[in-house]
Amino acid sequence: MINPKIIDYIFSSASIQRWNDYPRMVELVELDKQAHKFIIAYFIAKFEDDVNYKHLIEAGIFEFLRRVVVTDIRPDVFRNALQKRAKEINSWVIKNLETSLADIDNGLFLQKFEEYLNNPHIYKKERFILKAASYLSTRWEFSIVYQTSSFLSDIESVKKSVDEELEDYYELIGVRKIALNKKLAKVVDLSGRLRFQKRWAQTPRIPETSVLGHMLTVAIFSYFYSLKVNACDKRLENNFYVSLFHDLPEALTRDIISPVKYSVDDLSDIIAEYEIKKINEDILPNIPEFTQDEFCYILGVYKDSKDEFANRIYDGEVQFVDEISKFNMDRYSPVDGKALKQCDKLSAFVEASLSISHGIKSKELLNGKKQIMKTLKEIEGVDFKQLAQDIDEEFCTTGQTQVRMEFD
């Protein structure tokens, strides 16, 4: 469904620093910005008509991959360069990624990617929503940078430029609500704060990833899984957004590592109960009322229980099923919960394996990688364990090559 080289590209964004020519209180990286953008885009889209969510997801992934390839160009310079040399830049992006993308979805993903880059007239509504979401996530970051940069001579001009750009997106209702600091702004803030929570907090890693960035990597894995199993559009959409929001409650409860969560009797149940309480008190009241039921379905909240990784459909009411493939139609609004759990585990495995390949071999990472591997399995023809082994082999080989180059 996906290969180690593309996974390496995705995770390399966790090392791409943003605002690196300004003093910052915290590290701001591209992976987190992209995750925040996807979340904001979801909520903006909910206020609009005629949004194709599959196109919104794909356009976001295409933009993300392009940004990773042209990582050395500052965002404002990049936007200016695109206006004058879009064809050349896009050709360079495709050239760098084509061998890694060629086999995905029998070449259709690469074909759509190339068409998206070369034809600005497709996905127009979705592109505009993503541009607005990108701006708002950048604006959110700048509010952090501004606090520590008041002594710089150009900071007020940067602030003026950031503030003025807001007008370009006022036609979108969601943008106006966020800009006016309405309820939706609280959800944007809550999700943004997940960039401050580090994964594997008990051990050093390279690169470090946040809970926010992790949510996006799981979502992208779920997208490629959905392509592999020929998921209907609604199933693909649900799989992506269930993954994108699966750790949102951790903004209220913090990231509790599995060994702690499951080593104390009933602790996981107590945490789940508390999560539901906090979702009902601090998240749902800030979600637009017309989409609250759908958002509960995405979060996996059902009355007094919560399980985001349950296989489920909606047919007048939520139903839990064993085989999602039997309900692969938009009208059932299917969710591949068990497969998404595998995507979640695969992302954690990559986090450990990638860091180990960089020479950080703590016992927590080594043991965590080993334990995760035991839980990976095959679902609907997608062998997650084999994929993890391929990833591990690729990272180990790459790491050994880098070591040899350093010593040669």
Per-residue pLDDT at 407 exceeds 50: no
Domain coordinates in residue numbering, the chain = 4-188, 197-395
Mean pLDDT of 369-384: 95
End-to-end Cα distance, the chain? 36
4-188 and 197-395 agree in CATH topology: yes
- Residue 40 CB partners (closer than 8 Å, separation 6+): 132, 133, 136, 137, 178, 188, 191
Per-residue pLDDT at 354 exceeds 70: yes
**81-130 pLDDT, tens digit each:** 777 788 888 898 999 999 899 989 999 999 999 999 999 999 999 999 99
Contacts 24+ apart (CB under 8 A), 398-406: 398/8, 398/357, 399/356, 399/357, 399/358, 399/359
Mean pLDDT of 321-339: 96
Per-residue pLDDT at 263 exceeds 60: no
**Structure confidence at residue 405 (pLDDT):** 36
If we measure between CA atoms, which residue out of 27, 355, 42, 402 comes closest to residue 219?
Answer: 42
Q: Report whether CATH 1.10.3210.10 matches the domain 197-395.
A: yes
CATH number, span 4-188: 1.10.3210.10
Are 359 and 263 in contact by the 8 Å Cβ rule? The answer is no
Q: Give dist(CA 61, CA 54) in Å, integer.
A: 11
**Structure confidence at residue 101 (pLDDT):** 93
Mean pLDDT of 355-361: 89
**143-169 pLDDT, tens digit each:** 999 999 989 999 999 999 999 999 999
Residue with tokens 């609907």: 380
Q: In a 3-state reduction of DSSP, which class is residue 52?
A: coil
Are 282 and 252 in contact by the 8 Å Cβ rule? The answer is yes
Per-residue pLDDT at 22 exceeds 50: yes
353-387 per-residue burial string, b: 16 or more CB within 10 A, e: under 16 = bbbbbeeeebebbeebbeebbeebeebeebebbeb
Q: Give dist(CA 169, CA 310) in Å, integer.
A: 37
Per-residue pLDDT at 256 exceeds 70: no
Please give the structure tokens belonging to residue 235.
């199933």
**Structure confidence at residue 20 (pLDDT):** 87
Per-residue pLDDT at 50 exceeds 80: yes
List the single range of 126-130, 192-196, 230-234, 393-397 with lowest mean pLDDT.
393-397
Going by pLDDT thresholds of 50, 70 and 90, the confidence category of residue 75 is low
**Structure confidence at residue 81 (pLDDT):** 72
